[in-house]
Amino acid sequence: MTASAIEDLLRELSPQVLATLVRRHGQFEGCEDAVQEAVLAAAVQWPVEGVPDNPRGWLVTVASRRFIDQVRSDHARRERESATATEVVPQDVPDSDDTLVLLFLCCHPALTAASQTALTLRAVGGLSTAEIARAFLVPEATMAARISRAKQRIKAAGSSFSLPDGAQRQDRLRVVLHVLYLIFNEGYTASSGSELHRADLAREAIRLARMVHAQLSEDAEVTGLLALMLLTHARRRSRTTSAGDLVPLDEQDRTRWDRALIAEGTELVKASLAGPALGPYQLQAAIAATHAGAATAQQTNWSQVHALYLILERIAPNPMVTLNRAIALAQIEGPRAALGLLSTLDGDERMAAHHRLLSVRAHLLEEIGDTAGAYEHYRRAAKATASIAEQRYLQSRAGRVRPRVRP
């Protein structure tokens, strides 16, 4: 087996091994350290001595031994801990379920979103702290502290290693999906130096979403989220120029869209829409599928996009959704109708100075020929954004409508 194949195998096995240990011993923090050590040992030994016949069993044995050693060396807690360590091992349940439980644990509601994402990537994604730190553009020490704090919080919350039941399970699943969505977005909205690493985050989010989907395929929102990721990821090659400038959807080279991902995503959307309930991820995926299905921007079925945003607005009211609906409305009823809809957002404090509202309004003003208004709004949007690529784009649009001053 090649070194990179061993690395892939270890990344796949490490969450399973961690889950098995946490189920046995119930101490997330200590188990996580022990598994990291076992994985490190494997990464050194296996390429030289060969991969054992039962690699997962090998890792569980080595990690358990490390964990028990760790517990024994802790004199103060010796008696209580060694009793735990020698407890009868509960009957093993399928690995896949355990990985899901682990994911639920990492997305514990007691944690901030930043900690949930970091812990998920570390414990379930099998990424090293250094890799996660690079992806989020922070020093390794910062990320290490964040992960360690997250593990302490979970311990303090006294969470048990099991899937929550009923309504609580649904609530927790929403958190899990949100965390995967955040990881994906972090990778998708890469704007500075380390784009490569950040693109890896999008791939990792898709891998985790596939894993959740494999087990909860009956959940329409799980299906919807996976579809949304695939359909969005399909456009990754055409959404920026080689210089890193943003390319808006209507100017993207659609021949560069990844057809295999689009086909898979579209099938998933169809499957999820056949179910009884409709959720925000499903609807966003359906919108992405509508765009993906149009050979050119002109051929987009804007009435369908608008109708989908209307439903989304109804089930999950949010000014961003209204803003997106306005873009669709402009295509079917014209820019004035869209500007009318946007004016309903002016009362919203969070939105009034938001760069997306400013930039959409700038585009619409440009369309109706109000170049002075468009110029003003492009400039304000460029000041308000925190993305350099977006700022460059907005400044260049502003430059195109700059009022001419006579010499």
Partner 1 sequence: MQFLISMHINPAVLDALTDEEKAAIGDGHGKFLAALKASGELITTQALVDPSQAVVVSVRNGQPVVTDGPFLEAKEYLGGFYLIDCEDKQRAIELASQIPDTAIAGLGVEVRQVMFADGQLEA
Nearer to partner 1, 149 or 254 (CB): 149
Rank residues 238 and 387 by Cβ distance to partner 1 and give the closer one: 387
Which CB sits closer to partner 1, 61 or 142? 142
Rounded to 5 degrees, what angle do the CA atoms 399, 400, 402 make?
60
Name the minimum Å distance from CB 390 to partner 1.
Answer: 10
Q: Which is nearer to partner 1, 142 or 371 (CB)?
A: 142
Closer to partner 1 by CB, 140 or 367: give it.
Answer: 140
Give the residue from 314, 221, 325 showing the smallest Cα distance to 268.
221
Nearest to 183 by CA among 146, 142, 218, 233: 233
- Pick the closer one to partner 1 by CB: 188 or 302: 188
How many Å apart are CA 22 and CA 253, to the nearest integer?
A: 48
Query: By CB neighbour count within 10 A (0-12 exposed, 13-18 middle, 19+ buried), where does 255 fall?
Result: exposed
**CB-count exposure of residue 54 (10 Å: 0-12, 13-18, 19+):** exposed
Least distance between partner 1 and beta carbon 82 (Å): 30
The smaller minimum CB distance to partner 1, of residues 114 and 247, is found at 114
Pick the closer one to partner 1 by CB: 106 or 283.
106
Compute the distance between CA of residue 381 and CA of residue 396 in angstroms, rounded to an integer. Answer: 12
Cross-strand pairs, 159: none
Contact 37, 17 (CB under 8 A): no
Q: Least Å distance between CB 400 and partner 1?
A: 23
CB of 149 to partner 1, least distance (A): 6
Nearer to partner 1, 180 or 261 (CB): 180
Nearest Cα to Cα of residue 287 among 316, 266, 263: 266
Q: How far is the CB of 144 from partner 1 (least distance, A)?
A: 7
Q: What is the DSSP letter of 159?
A: -
Residue ranges in contact with partner 1 by CB under 8 A = 112-115, 118, 136-149, 191-193, 386-388, 391
Instruction: Note whether 180 and 209 are within 8 A (CB).
Output: yes
Quote the least distance from Cβ 397 to partner 1, whole Å: 18
Closest contact distance (angstroms) between CB of 174 and partner 1 is 18
**Smallest distance, Å, CB 137 to partner 1?**
6
**Any bridge partners for residue 246, and if so which?**
240
Q: Which amino acid is at 259?
A: R
d(CA 336, CA 302): 16
Angle at the Cα of 149 from the Cα atoms of 147 and 153, rounded to 5 degrees: 115
Q: Is 104 helix (H, G, I), strand (E, B) or coil?
A: helix
Residue with tokens 């260049």: 396
User: Least distance to partner 1 from the beta carbon of 115, Å?
Assistant: 8
Packing angle of the helix pair 280-292, 302-315 (nearest 10 deg): 170
